[in-house]
Structure 1
Amino acid sequence: MLSGKKLIVFLLAFASLYMPPALQAQDQVQFGYVNLAEAVLLHPLMKDFDARPRRFRITAIKGDAEKVRTQNLAKIKDEMGQAQKTLKQLEEDRRKEESEYTKQLQNLIKQKNTSPKAGEISMEKYNEERKSVDLEFTRKLRALRTEIQKVQNSIAKLNLESEYAEHASHEESQKVFSLILDELYEAVDAVAKFYKIPFVFNSSFEFSRSANEVTITNPMPEFFKDLDYRLSEDPEGKLTVAASIRGWLDLKNNNLVNCGDPRLTNFVIKGGVNMTPAVVDYIYQKHEISKSHRDFIQDYFRKVGSDK
């Protein structure tokens, strides 16, 4: 019977069979960290970012900016025409339903009052027929109003889009954010190799995307355009530039709300060893779980993985 201490050593040794090759031992294992959210906001491509719609201008995309702007306007005009045509038809359908409803009520009342057997038409029957007409009209009118509201919302959105014809679409803006993160991960890898840092984590991994009405003028266009001039001509230029950048970075939750790339909130950027398989196997051995169960779970980790 193994003692408690020897048992722990034995279990750890056994569990280590499921550990991936670890980094070579060093006298002092170092780790680095990067505030990825702030690094994104300081990227040169952010000079083309508009904080109000939280989208990039088309100048951030390779190609003819004027051509893209013209294409955007043409697309918006076409979609607007289709939406207005649909709205006109829906409004016409609504008027027809209202007119038909009025006719049905008039006919029902006329039938009740002028029929030779008017006395035989009970108020109860009249109310039933009236209720049926009312319910059918209400159902149709509600459906039409729902469709009308959808089209009106679409038109309002298109009107807003026309104001941002010189901006990239949300999908295109996502691609720019992904390009920025590609470069940042490349930079992290290069710097980590240079300083021989095996593990790098994201200090802004708890970053939470939250939109609100608070906006701030993006300082990056001026920063990249005339920093030298401002520092040389303005005695307090360094302080004012630093203050504008601080305010810009403080609103990262708002400014990056449309950055959907999951790498932005990864905890581990580079390195690290996934110990989950070994930890689970340690527990299974301690509780004397059968080898078939242990092997199954380890096979699961190899094929499906955890935090890969």
Structure 2
Amino acid sequence: MSTSVTNLNPNAINAVSILSSARPQLLMCAPHLYDVDYVINPWMTGNVHNASRDLAMKQWQNLYAAVSEVADVLLVEPQPGSPDMVFTANAGLLYNGEVAISSFFHPERQGEEPHFRRWFAEQGYKVLDVARETPFEGEGDALFSEDGTRLWVGYGTRTLESSHDLLRAAWGVEVVGLELIDPRFYHLDTCFAPLVGGYVMYYPAAFGADSLREIEAFYPEDSRIVVEEADAVRFACNAVNIGSTIILNRISEELLARLSSLDFEVVQVELSEFLRAGGAAKCLVMKLGKALDAPRLT
């Protein structure tokens, strides 16, 4: 799909999605207001006001086109004062029609919360608020295993371990915490990607020893795709996986060969301007479920 999204109407996108077949739905936010305005992770250091918004838009449009081939994309309107709204994975976490809205650790991003809360409520989702004293950063730090039997939740950098109790109590799901120990990989989705077929792609050095044992106990050795540091810092694990398609930033030939050998179709999209803020493909996308299962507009 090559449609330009510079002036897309979010309502038109929503209408198309609702009428479509049961393809996965994803949430994105165009980078009209994107910039690196502050430093809240190591990637932003030295990059304040150093990103090209024009290039970011072109890269985002390429990502939008790639994901639109395999899913329906809904858009949330960017809001002044919230340059990181483009990273919609951090908006919240969806489970069975209910969205746990993020409670951002850093004040710089807390202004996004009412905009995302309003958007989800308007779409008919039930909204679960997370207390300010319990930082939780949505799908950035919380990822379901591919079979849906386990919710992996990162902690130690931007999401507190105490948030796990809220998710267990609200949804009755198995929650397993993974300690993040490398500040470069401040969200779980920067270093850990559950994939279709029961595979996982991960960067082991990002995790504490006990957490690494949890991962390796759950995933058999032949289902683990270990990412080396050179690919990890390109955010290879920050991947969008829909069916057999994996969409991600540029990666090494070695990792490409490994994924291809497992019958994944790998789509590489240059996302250099978003790496300046500490994000890549997965950060720019939030999963909303299947179109026919999603709340309907009235």
- Report the TM-score, using the length of structure 1 for normalisation: 0.20
Report which of the two structures shows the higher radius of gyration computed on alpha carbons. 1
Higher strand share: 2
Question: Please, what TM-score do these two structures have when normalized by structure 2?
Answer: 0.20
Higher helix share: 1
Q: Which has the higher contact order (CA 8 A, sep 6+)?
A: 1
